[in-house]
């Protein structure tokens, strides 16, 4: 069960990074700072995109910890730029590999 859940979540996180690539390409084409998109809400009743991304990382970390009987790792979720968000993605996925989990 662990492998099925965590591999799905990891793939979703990787897909989200592809969406950020597309957002970055769009910002370059339209000549504006991509970080503007990171603070924008996708819908009026949603949190900003940066929060959505942080939540996706937190979901993977918490799910993996709970399924493996470990303590949930704490990260500050203080990312402000697309580069910092990419680093958080990689850190989250790498932490699953470091712990010896199959992802």
- Segment 44-53, tens digit of pLDDT: 999 998 998 8
Closest-CA residue to 1 (of 63, 71, 59, 93): 63
Q: Are 71 and 65 in contact (CB under 8 A)?
A: yes
User: How far is Cα 25 from Cα 35, in angstroms, rounded to an integer?
Assistant: 12
pTM: 0.80
Range of 6-15, 23-32, 37-46, 53-62 with top mean pLDDT: 23-32
User: What pLDDT score was predicted for residue 63?
Assistant: 87
User: How far is Cα 98 from Cα 42, in angstroms, rounded to an integer?
Assistant: 33
User: How far is Cα 28 from Cα 5, in angstroms, rounded to an integer?
Assistant: 35
């Amino acid at each position: 069960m662990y492998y099925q859940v965590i591999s799905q979540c990891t793939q979703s996180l990787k897909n989200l990074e592809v969406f950020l690539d597309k957002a970055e390409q769009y910002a370059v084409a339209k000549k504006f700072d991509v970080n503007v998109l990171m603070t924008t809400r996708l819908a009026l009743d949603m949190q900003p995109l940066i929060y959505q991304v942080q939540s996706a990382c937190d979901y993977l970390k918490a799910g993996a910890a709970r399924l493996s009987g470990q303590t949930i790792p704490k990260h500050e979720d203080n990312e402000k730029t697309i580069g910092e968000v990419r680093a958080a993605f990689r850190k989250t996925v790498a932490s699953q590999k470091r712990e010896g989990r199959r992802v």
